Structure 1
Amino acid sequence: MSSLRATFYAHQTLNLHARYNLSDNAKKLLRAHDEWRMGSLGQEELGRRVRMSVDNRKAITDTITKCAATMRKKPADTKNCIDIIQACTEILDAADKPPDSGCLPFLKLPAELRQIVYRWYASSIVASTLVAYSSELDCYCGKWTSPNTSANPPIHRVDMALARTCSQIKTEYLEFLYHKYTLYFDCCCELSKRLQGNPTLRSNLRSVRVHWTGPLSDKAFTCLAKCQELKHLDIVVSKSTTIYETPREKEMRRYFRSNKPVRLADALGIDELLTIRGLTSVCVSHVHARQTAKRTDEERANLQGLLRVKLRVLELN
């Protein structure tokens, strides 16, 4: 493709299109070819305009025929005719070029339309809380997920097939899910691993529900405090919340023996939990009775009151 070839508008200025009796379809395609040469139109779009219309393809072949006849009658117009014929040849080459199998046409849609597709794809999700497929963890926190026994299950496992198509779609679809739904984690070990290994999750997590249990509770809440988009936190408490001792508690138990149950105020991760800021809502829930033993309603209410003050009010001071 020569950069010295005259443009469509140069030919229009010379009134060549009228002199050669080119059709309106031919002129539209030659203008589109000029836009392709300048980079404002893709080759696939140029070829599509010919493939999708029999009249457009005929207009190109008729233009070649007319230019060839003009060259025989008026040798002085040979250069202009060759320019037009070469443009027509390139238009036909674009039309006959097979689609690029390595590119997903979906990614060429505007981002707003892709978001609509993601909403449609997720329309079958009737729950507001999602559970990611469990990863392999070296912990013994007793993984458990509520069964879907009703028409509107409180927790829902999601098929992530769409997220396995390509990296860009995976990132966009996960961002959509993390913004729209609450994510449930069976234990703090799971939460810690997910946050440390998934930067998309850390950047977009807005609502989380986690069972406060496990030896990594402090690390999990430290990671959670770094999630800038986090707005809602639901802490699930149980008797197992206080199974693991804090370093300070281990030290004190060497000198002060006590048979009293450990308080939530001394649970592993409490200090890290209280560093979270910027939330709009906080709540504390009892664990499901079939999973493990519950704590008292008083403990649940007291922890909820503490978190609502520390996590929602102090950041405004």
Structure 2
Amino acid sequence: MSSSRATFYAHQTLNLHARYGLSDNAKKLLRAHDNWKMGGLERDQLGRLVRMSPDMRKSITDTITKCAEIMRKKPAEVKNCIDIIQACTEILDAADKPPDLEGFPFLKLPAELRQNIYRWYATKIVATTLVAYSNEVGCDCGKWTPPNPSTLPAIHRVDMALARTCSQIKSEYLEFIYHKYTLYFACSCELNKRLKGNSTLRASLRSIKVHWTGPVSDKAFSRLAKCKELRHLDIAISKSTTNFETPREKEMRRYFHSMKPARLADALGIEELLSIRGLTSVCVSHVNGRQSTKRTDEERANLQGLLIFKLRVPELD
């Protein structure tokens, strides 16, 4: 507002509103106009006040008429009357402005409300473990196999349409998803690709289930160890977990040709897996039987005992 125009409160100090006989509705709108000029009110909100009822608009036209009559009778009041008339015309301009058809200003809501909306949007997700629609990762590892359709799905594919609206909503919604649900990866190739290209995933991932198989298991687990928010890890093992040799195993097989098949303790990525720290829960499970051949229950139990000892936060007495 320019310094030449007096504010609503300056006019109130001069008792202009009472002397000019302005109505309560007119004073309410002039106060709101002053608030808009000071940045405390949106133009749309100001216009909405006028459109609330015909009486609000009539109070503005009546105020202009009164000020014009006062200017004719009392020339000394011209400046104050002009200030009020100008404010009235700006109020009418705000009321007559076409409504904003661009949509609801979602991003202007407080962050807490947006999180509640994301939570409501996700209520249709009935599973606790999610498989996002993924791009082709270019590997021949075990692909995702849907669970038995006759039972409540333990694993569920999710359409991430909301994450394709704008960058801010995408970041917030994905952060919510990564915090609330367990993400399933069909192989370490997919895990490695997603961690490499998704900074929000790296920063927000809290719970994960991954089938330990693939030629980049060591790289995938190295990236996973850098996820500071990771708290739960479920490793699914299979016969294919030991299909890919470590550099040391390749070296040894050049000289020891009669070596037995690799043990689970020598699988590619074991060292990187054991470098993960700070988890609150660790689980080792068998892979879906339709996806790969299972290992023995003894191997599963032994690996789970090792990971619990190495990866979990020590419990306080």
The two structures have a TM-score, normalised by structure 2, of 0.95
Matched letter for residue 247 of structure 2: P
1-side partners of 2:246 and 2:274: how far apart?
Answer: 15
Q: Look up the match of 2:8.
A: 8
Matched letter for residue 239 of structure 1: K
Q: Look up the match of 1:83.
A: 83
1-side partners of 2:83 and 2:9: how far apart?
Answer: 13
- Tell whether the 8 Å contact from 1:148 to 1:155 is kept in structure 2 after alignment: no
Instruction: Establish whether residue 242 from structure 1 lines up as the match of residue 249 from structure 2.
Output: no
Report percent identity of matched pairs: 79
Q: Please give the secondary structure, in 2, of the residue aligned with 1:294.
A: coil
Q: State the Cα distance separating 1:259 from its structure 2 match.
A: 4.8
- Alpha carbon RMSD of aligned pairs, Å? 1.8
Q: State the Cα distance separating 1:101 from its structure 2 match.
A: 5.1
Q: State the Cα distance separating 1:2 from its structure 2 match.
A: 2.8
Q: State the Cα distance separating 1:134 from its structure 2 match.
A: 1.7
Instruction: Establish whether residue 21 from structure 1 lines up as the match of residue 16 from structure 2.
Output: no
Q: Please give the secondary structure, in 2, of the residue aligned with 1:276.
A: coil
2-side partners of 1:221 and 1:149: how far apart?
Answer: 31
2-side partners of 1:244 and 1:314: how far apart?
Answer: 32
Give per-residue Cα distances to partners, 1:171-194, cap 9 Å, x unaligned: 111111111100001111111111
2-side partners of 1:32 and 1:255: how far apart?
Answer: 87
Q: State the Cα distance separating 1:100 from its structure 2 match.
A: 4.6
Give per-residue Cα distances to partners, 1:144-163, cap 9 Å, x unaligned: 23236145210111111111
Matched letter for residue 157 of structure 2: R
2-side partners of 1:54 and 1:110: how far apart?
Answer: 33
Aligned residue runs from structure 1 range 93-242, under 5 A: 93-100=93-100, 104-147=104-147, 149-150=149-150, 152-242=152-242
Moved more, 54-63 or 135-144: 54-63
Q: Look up the match of 1:48.
A: 48
2-side partners of 1:217 and 1:315: how far apart?
Answer: 29
Moved more, 178-187 or 165-174: 165-174
2-side partners of 1:298 and 1:258: how far apart?
Answer: 25
Q: State the Cα distance separating 1:295 from its structure 2 match.
A: 0.6
Q: Please give the secondary structure, in 1, of the residue aligned with 2:11.
A: helix
Q: State the Cα distance separating 1:111 from its structure 2 match.
A: 1.2
Distance 1:41 1:313, change over 3 A: closer
Distance 1:252 1:92, change over 3 A: same
2-side partners of 1:56 and 1:148: how far apart?
Answer: 63
Moved more, 71-80 or 148-157: 148-157
Instruction: Establish whether residue 35 from structure 1 lines up as the match of residue 35 from structure 2.
Output: yes
2-side partners of 1:271 and 1:82: how far apart?
Answer: 80
Moved more, 175-184 or 56-65: 56-65
Q: Look up the match of 2:63.
A: 63
Give per-residue Cα distances to partners, 1:119-176, cap 9 Å, x unaligned: 1111111100010112121211131232361452101111111111111111111111
Distance 1:216 1:182, change over 3 A: same
Q: Please give the secondary structure, in 1, of the residue aligned with 2:275.
A: coil
Q: State the Cα distance separating 1:89 from its structure 2 match.
A: 1.3
- Tell whether the 8 Å contact from 1:178 to 1:204 is kept in structure 2 after alignment: yes
Q: State the Cα distance separating 1:104 from its structure 2 match.
A: 4.6
Q: Please give the secondary structure, in 2, of the residue aligned with 1:145.
A: coil
Moved more, 64-73 or 6-15: 64-73
Moved more, 95-104 or 263-272: 95-104
Structure 1: gaps spanning 5 or more residues: none
Q: Please give the secondary structure, in 1, of the residue aligned with 2:219.
A: helix
1-side partners of 2:185 and 2:207: how far apart?
Answer: 11
- Tell whether the 8 Å contact from 1:131 to 1:155 is kept in structure 2 after alignment: yes
2-side partners of 1:16 and 1:213: how far apart?
Answer: 81
